[in-house]
Chains A and B, each alone.
Chain A
Amino acid sequence: MEALGINGTGLLAQLINFALLLIILRAVAYKPIMNMLDQRAARIKESMDNAERVKEQLAKAQEDYAAMVEQARKDSQSIISQANQIGERIRQESQEAAHREAGEFLAKAHAQIERDKRQAVAELRKEVGDLAILAASKIVARSLDGESHRRLIEETLNESDKLSSN
C-alpha cells in the first residue's frame, strides 16, 4: 500500500476535499441553478398557458363579434322592412284619404251644380211663363184676364215639366 502511495492521511484529506467540493457546489451551483431552471420552466409553462388562454379568449371574442355583427344585420334588416311596411301603409292611407277627399269634393261640386241648375230652371220657368203671358196677352189682347191665363200656362208648364223629367 505504501508503495502505491496509499496512506491514511492522504485518503482522509482527499475524502474531505471531495466532501468540501460537494458541499460548495451544492450551495453555489446545483441548488441555485436547479431552482432557476425549475423557475424558468414554470415561467415558460405559465406563459404558454397564458398564450393559450389568450388565444381561446381571442377566438371567443371573434365568435362573439361575429354573432354581434350577425345580430345587428338581422336587426337592421327587420328595422328596414318595418320601415318599408310603415311607409307603404302611410302611402296607402294618404292615397285613400286623397281619394276620399276628392270624392267628397266632387260630390259637393255635383250637388252645388244640381242646386244651381234647379234654381236656374225655376227662374227660367218663371221668366218664360211671364214672357209667354206677355206674349199671349199681346196676341189675344185681353180675351182672357191675366189670372186665368196664368193658370193655364202653369198647367202647360207642369205638363211640360213632367214630360222633360221623364
Chain B
Amino acid sequence: MKKIGTVILLLALFIGGAIFFPVNKPHVQLPAEKIGDVAGFPITNTMTAAWATIIVLSLLFLFATRNMRMIPGRLQAFAEMIVETLLGLCESVAGKEKGRAFFSLVATFFLFIMISNWMGLLPGYGTIGVKENEPAHVEQQVEQSKEHSAAVVTNAVERKDGAAATAESSKGEELLLPLFRSANTDLNTTLALALVSVLATQFFGVKALGAGSYAGKFLNFKSPIDFFVGLLEIISEVAKIISFSFRLFGNIFAGEVLLGVMAFLIPWVASLPFMGLELFVGAIQAFVFMMLTLVFLTLATIGHGAEHGAEHGKAH
C-alpha cells in the first residue's frame, strides 16, 4: 500500500507539478547578464560566479593546508588526494619533470572548470537575482537578440513582446536578472581559458625547444610540403582556441538550457537524472580540457611532427 501510495504521489507530482507549481519559461540568453558597475567596469553574473568558484577553491585549500602535518587529517588528506591524483596524471602523460612544470596550470584548469560547472548546478544559480525593470537595458538586449536571432537559442519573440510591453505600458512580464550564472556559460570565460591554454602551449614550446626551433614548426621553407604543413600548424593553433572555448561553452550552456527546459516541462523529480547527467558532463568537460591542454603542452615540448591524434576527445 505504502509503495503504491508513493508511486501515485510521484505520478501526481509528475503530471500535476506543472499545473500546481508552475515554473517560469526558461529565458535563454547567450551573453552574460550585466548586474552592475564598479567604477565603470561592468560586472556580469558569470564574473560573480567565477569569483565564487575562486573563493570556494581558495578557502578549501587554505583550510586544508593551513597547518600541514606529516600524518594528515581528513581535509588535508582530501586535498592531498586531489593534488596527488592530478600530479600523477600529469607525470604519467608528460613525464616526471615536464609533468611538474605543467602541473599548476593544468590542475587549475581542471579545478576551476569542474567546480564552476558543479556550482552552476547549485540551487540559487540562475534563480536568485533582481527583477529587471530597466527599460533601456531591456531594449538593448532585445536589439541584440533581434540582430542575431539565429545564434541565440531563445524565445526571442516572447522577450521582444514582453520588453515592448514593459517599455510601452510597464505592466509586462518582469525578467529575473540572476546574480550568479555558471561561469562557463559565458564565452568570455571559456575563451580566456582557451587563450591561456594555447598561449601556454606556445610559451612552453619556445622554452623547451628555443624560439628558432619552435618557430620552424610554423614557418618552414625547406620544401613546399613543409611550408604547407607549417601553415596547417598555424591554423591548428587558432582552431585550438576556438575548439577549446566552444566545446566547453557549448556543453555547459546546453546543459543549463536542458535543465531549464526540463524544470519548465516537469518541475518535479524528472529533472533529477538530468542533474546527474550535468554533474557528469561538468566533470568530463573539465577532464577533457585538462587532458587536451596537457597533451598539447607535451607535444609542443617534444619537437616536430607529432601532432597526430591529439584532437581526439573533441566529440564531447
A: which residues have CB within 8 A of B?
Answer: 2-7, 9-11, 13-15, 17-22, 24-26, 28-30, 32-34, 36-37, 39-40, 43
Known: A26-B104, A33-B83. A20 touches B192 (CB 8 A): no
Is A5 touching B186 in the complex (CB atoms < 8 A)? Answer: yes
A102 to chain B: closest CB distance in Å? 89
Tell yes or no: B188 within 8 A of A by CB: yes
Is A14 touching B83 in the complex (CB atoms < 8 A)? Answer: no
A45 to chain B: closest CB distance in Å? 14
- Chain A residues lying within 8 Å of B53, measured Cβ to Cβ, are 21
Is A21 touching B57 in the complex (CB atoms < 8 A)? Answer: yes
Is B107 touching A25 in the complex (CB atoms < 8 A)? Answer: yes
13 CB-based A-B contacts, threshold 8 Å: A3-B144, A3-B148, A5-B186, A10-B32, A11-B188, A14-B46, A14-B192, A18-B192, A25-B58, A25-B108, A29-B57, A29-B61, A40-B70
Cα distance A14–B43 in the bound complex, in angstroms: 11
Cα distance A18–B194 in the bound complex, in angstroms: 11
Known: A11-B192, A34-B83. A6 touches B51 (CB 8 A): no
- Which residue of the partner chain B has the closest CB to A37? B84
Is A29 touching B79 in the complex (CB atoms < 8 A)? Answer: yes
Is B104 touching A32 in the complex (CB atoms < 8 A)? Answer: no
Given contacts A10-B44, A21-B54, 20 further A-B contacts (CB under 8 A): A3-B144, A4-B151, A5-B186, A6-B187, A9-B41, A10-B32, A11-B188, A11-B191, A14-B188, A14-B193, A17-B50, A17-B51, A17-B192, A22-B105, A24-B54, A26-B104, A29-B79, A33-B79, A33-B83, A36-B65
Tell yes or no: B47 within 8 A of A by CB: yes
- Chain B residues lying within 8 Å of A25, measured Cβ to Cβ, are 57-58, 61, 104, 107-108, 111
Is B54 touching A17 in the complex (CB atoms < 8 A)? Answer: yes
B244 to chain A: closest CB distance in Å? 13
Is A33 touching B57 in the complex (CB atoms < 8 A)? Answer: no
The prevalent SS among residues of A at the interface is: helix
B76 to chain A: closest CB distance in Å? 8
Is B31 touching A5 in the complex (CB atoms < 8 A)? Answer: yes
Known: A4-B30, A40-B70. A10 touches B152 (CB 8 A): no
Tell yes or no: B133 within 8 A of A by CB: no
Is A18 touching B193 in the complex (CB atoms < 8 A)? Answer: yes
Cα distance A155–B42 in the bound complex, in angstroms: 178
A46 to chain B: closest CB distance in Å? 12
- Chain A residues lying within 8 Å of B61, measured Cβ to Cβ, are 25, 28-29
Tell yes or no: B103 within 8 A of A by CB: yes
Residue in B62, B151, B186 whose CB lies within 8 Å of A14: B186
Per CB-CB distance, the 9 closest pairs between chain A and chain B, nearest first, are A5-B31, A10-B188, A3-B148, A14-B192, A29-B61, A33-B83, A32-B65, A15-B192, A14-B189
- Chain B residues lying within 8 Å of A43, measured Cβ to Cβ, are 70
- Chain A residues lying within 8 Å of B107, measured Cβ to Cβ, are 25, 30
Cα distance A3–B151 in the bound complex, in angstroms: 8
Known: A11-B191, A18-B196, A37-B80. A5 touches B32 (CB 8 A): yes
- Which residue of the partner chain B has the closest CB to A33? B83
Cα distance A4–B147 in the bound complex, in angstroms: 11
Is B103 touching A21 in the complex (CB atoms < 8 A)? Answer: no
- Chain B residues lying within 8 Å of A33, measured Cβ to Cβ, are 65, 68, 79-80, 83-84
- Chain B residues lying within 8 Å of A4, measured Cβ to Cβ, are 30-31, 151, 187
- Chain B residues lying within 8 Å of A10, measured Cβ to Cβ, are 32, 42, 44, 46-47, 186, 188
Chain B 42-80, CB within 8 Å of chain A: the 1/0 string?
101011001101100110011011001010100000011
Cα distance A11–B151 in the bound complex, in angstroms: 20
Known: A13-B188, A14-B188, A18-B193. A30 touches B50 (CB 8 A): no
